[in-house]
Structure 1
Amino acid sequence: MTALTLALVAGAVVGLALGGLGGGGGSVLAVPTLIYLLGFTPAQAATASLIIVTLTSLPALVGHARDGNVAWRTGLLFAAAGIVPAMLTGTAAGHLPQTALTIAFALVAGLAALRMLRPSPARTTGTAHPGKAGAAGVGLGAVTGFLGVGGGFLAVPTLVGVLGLPMRRAVGTSLLVITANSVAALGARAGSGTHLDWAVIAPFTAAAVLGAWDGKRLSYKLKGATLQRVFAWVLLAVTAFMLADALL
């Protein structure tokens, strides 16, 4: 199978997961896919993943905004707390050993899988604590910059459980946060000298964007909890494989 075909197939799968699971979806699969199927180094995969996440999230953000499902003020404040951490960790990631990046990503992917297997947090009532919201924004920005993942698996439960947004608005707002943090992390990585294979990234991104629309339609046909559980178990398998590859 050629690199172009692999990029198209992998991008479609990542897009399907992203569209089907909302902000907590398949962007976390982009990095291991780029490493193990397309031959990227962890540093290259993290940077490429940020590009893919940004360009895939933007159309989804537009759609949610059109439906009134984006809390702009909340999302911008949440994103603002993560922009500087995203830039700092994005810069630091370029100076770490490849094995360390792989292990760190595997651990975060495992956390994402376990989080998806837990019941969704109930919506809170009352006013969210600004300190908790700020800390969550900082943590999300740091993860995005360091590992090149969108972080929706952290953003959505935080927006629901800490800031009290309904799930649909949390998903839409998480796309705003993800996009802002990804752009900031990309800016920090711009001068790192990391080589990017655009012949792979471009078709991967195009397939992911198209796959996200199909994933959104799929989410209306299948129960969200079923999709989430299947994806979580796949992600746990990816975590185990990456840890074994890095440590053995």
Structure 2
Amino acid sequence: MNHYLLVPIGFAAGILAGYLGIGGGGIFVPVLFFCFSGLCSAELVPKLSVGTSTGAVLLTGLSGAFRHWQLGHIDLSFFLRISAGALVGAFFGGLVVCHLPADILRIVIGIVLFIAAFRMVTYAKRDDSSFNERKPWWLVPIGVVVGLIAATVGIGGGILAVPILAGILGLNTKRAAGTSAAMTVVLSVGAIVGHILWGQGVPGRPPGSFGFVVIADSLILGIPAAAGAAIGAGLHRKFEPNIFRVVFALLLVAVGIKIIFF
């Protein structure tokens, strides 16, 4: 795949991410997976895809988090707790990627894509009626787990954090999505540092890579994705997203099967 195709792909992925309320990693990783195939060893393809995706997720997350902050959708107390844990977990996610065999990492990525597909079709809006005002301490260790898993597979963590914030703690959909988007920024910073640090010295990496992060591709994919995310968030009020969620879920399942079995 021509790397410059990442510009229109990133823009389209950003629109979809902003429209559906996801972080974008579920789109970025498969795209980068096929982008790096043939350019380096099969062992490095999933590792570079995951690491480079975190850079794009950071840029998309900044765009989404800023918009949610403007709209007042971020619960600061919940954000601080879950983000503190996510930062630590994401940093060590790079260590997991460094030592995890490529075949196992492929399976893990595929499974997370299946989970993301399930989340797409089971999405439900919530109101504030069941909101739990408590600020549980266990959000910190939960954040560690979310950060570790997210950094291991190159996603922003929203598909894991939103069910906890909305389904268990009772935040409405907007506040859960906004708090999760802000967490994604912190998580991505930890993940990028981890992927760069733990990937240093690994042979066979392409030119311009820092650890497992190919900076140029992160920017080529992430900058247009950030612009697209701002547009996609605005489209949410104009078009019903349910049909697109089902289509996107089917796409994620197909890509997950491709990554695992082919």
* Aligned residue among 32, 47, 50 for 1:46: 50
Residue aligning to 1:66: 70
Is the aligned partner of 1:241 residue 2:241? no
Is the CA contact (8 Å cut-off) linking 2:7 and 2:221 kept in structure 1? yes
Structure 2 stretches lacking a partner, 5+ long: 40-44, 201-210
Q: Percentage identity across aligned positions?
A: 30
Distance 1:71 1:127 in 2: 11
Q: 1:198 to 1:79 in 2, by over 3 A?
A: closer
RMSD, aligned α-carbons: 2.2
Q: 1:240 to 1:128 in 2, by over 3 A?
A: farther
Is the CA contact (8 Å cut-off) linking 1:86 and 1:141 kept in structure 2? yes
- Per the TM alignment, residue 125 of structure 1 is displaced from its structure 2 partner at its CA by 4.1
Tell me which moved more, 191-200 or 107-116.
191-200
Is the CA contact (8 Å cut-off) linking 2:65 and 2:181 kept in structure 1? yes
Q: 1:188 to 1:101 in 2, by over 3 A?
A: same
Distance 2:56 2:243 in 1: 25
Is the aligned partner of 1:20 residue 2:37? no
Distance 2:81 2:216 in 1: 36
Residue aligning to 1:82: 86
Distance 2:215 2:23 in 1: 23
Residue aligning to 1:178: 184
Give the count of matched residue pairs. Answer: 243
Question: 2:80 is matched by which residue type in structure 1?
Answer: L
- Per the TM alignment, residue 51 of structure 1 is displaced from its structure 2 partner at its CA by 0.6
Distance 1:3 1:88 in 2: 28
- TM norm structure 1: 0.88
Partner of 2:169, secondary structure, is coil
Deviating runs (4+, > 4 A) in structure 1?
Answer: none
Please state which structure has a larger fraction of its residues in helix. 1
* Aligned residue among 145, 151, 166 for 2:172: 166
- Per the TM alignment, residue 145 of structure 1 is displaced from its structure 2 partner at its CA by 1.9
Residue aligning to 1:2: 2
- TM norm structure 2: 0.84
Structure 1 stretches lacking a partner, 5+ long: none
